[in-house]
Structure formats: C-alpha cells, structure tokens
Structure 1
Amino acid sequence: MNQLNFPGVIGAIDGTHVAIMKPLNEHNFINRKGYHSLNVQIICDSTMKVLNINANFGGSTHDSFIWRHSGIQRQMQQLYRNGERCWLIGDSGYPLQPYLLTPVLNAAPGTPEANYNAAHATARNIIERTITCYCT
C-alpha cells in the first residue's frame, strides 16, 4: 500500500455483514442491527484486489474474534516471528498487534498520534471502498 504512504502495509482488513435467511441456530447469526447475517472478514490490497475472505462466522461474532480465529492471523504472526516486517491495517474493532496496525484511541488534535490516525484512515479507506464495490 505504498501508494497510500504506508510502507510495508500489504492490505486492509474489515468485516461486513451479509444478510442471510433465518438459519436453524439463529442466535449465532443475529447481528447488532437485529437481522440475520454472516460477518464476513475481507482483506484487500491497495488496488482493491481481495486477498482473503473468511465467511465462517455468524453475524453475532465480533470482528476481533474472527481475526483471532483466522488462518491469516496465524500466517501474519508467523511472518512476524520469521523477521518479516509487513502489516495489515484495521479499524479500532481489531487488536493492535505487531503485524496489525489500528488507530490510536483518543489522540489529541495536532499530535503525531492524530497525524498517524489521519494517514491510517486514508489508507484504510480502501477496504471500505472494496466492500462497497463487491458487497452491495
């Protein structure tokens, strides 16, 4: 995602709810907005190319839970342990990890943290556009 002034960032991650018909075990699929869905984790690169999709969890599942239980999280962790320095960027629904960059909460205006957040939001916008393009 060097085009977005975030060297080393290989992709952006987010979850999106895809509506489904009422399943048998519906309590796992009712999302926070009250409808049945899958919470689909998507990772894309800076050109909106989808790199990874995880559609294994119901709408009641939080993005951070899906991340913690995903093969891509384990893969990123292994790359980090092997000395690779590459990152994904995600919103504040994800945990900050050595290979997953998230915004700094409550950054004071005009600080380096606020500047980082602005650059982070600009770079992460690619996943929002990808989800809009492919999921609507």
Structure 2
Amino acid sequence: NKINGLAFPAVNNAIVIFGLGYGVQSLSQVRWLNECQIYYWGDIDTHGYAILSQLRGYFPKTQSLLMDEDTLMSCKNAWGKEGKVHPSDRLANLTEAEHHIYTRLKQDHWRNNLRLEQELIPMSYLYDALRLHSFHL
C-alpha cells in the first residue's frame, strides 16, 4: 500500500518495497532477496493472503507482519468489505495459522467478505511488531 510504504518508519539495514500487489512476481528474479529476511504486510483479506502465498513461493523464508488474528480482532472498528473474494480454497504457501484465518475469511466466519486494510491498522501496532521482531528503529 502506497500510504504505508511512504509512512513506514526508518529501519536500520532494511528496505521497503510496496505497491506491487500480485505484481510481486517481478521480485522472483531478484536472487539476492533469497539471502534476506522478508516480511510481508498486506491487507487481512483473501487477496492479501493469496499475495503472501505467492511471495512465499518465491522466497520461502517470508514472514507475515500484522496479518494475524490478534491484529484482526483488535481492529474491529476498521473492518471493511472485500469486493471479489479470492477463488482458491487452499493456498499452498501459508502457515497453519495463516491458513486458518484465510479459511475463516472464506467461510464468512466473522463477517461477510471481511477485509481489514493495512492502512487502517494503527501505526503503533507496526512499531510494536517491529520491536517484537528486533528491528532497530
């Protein structure tokens, strides 16, 4: 997301790549990324998890950031509605926890076509997540 990419805090020894969506395939040829720890922060919706799965297919060490159930539940006031839901029932490259959320989204467990856009997650959550992962701000 452009807003979050531009507002992302300065982190030592890190770069932020944003605005690609399903275009993450363009990164697949950047071989030096295989040597990096990659974090993906996308919307908590079916397409956000599909993009995460796609990216992890190129870079298996990729970890999701703020795409967990705790974040989703603590941001209920920012919930919106996803337009067209991703068609796949199973995404190959999600962790068990990520797949659990993806499945619940597909089943309308919390709300019909639930979506939490990343730019609506408070920046304080991002700072806490970065500290949790030992980033030096």
Choose between structure 1 and 2 for higher RCO, CA contacts under 8 A separated by at least 6 residues. 2
Q: Give the TM-score taking structure 2 as reference length.
A: 0.29
Question: Counting helix residues as a fraction of each chain, which structure ranks higher?
Answer: 2
Structure exhibiting the larger radius of gyration computed from Cα positions: 1
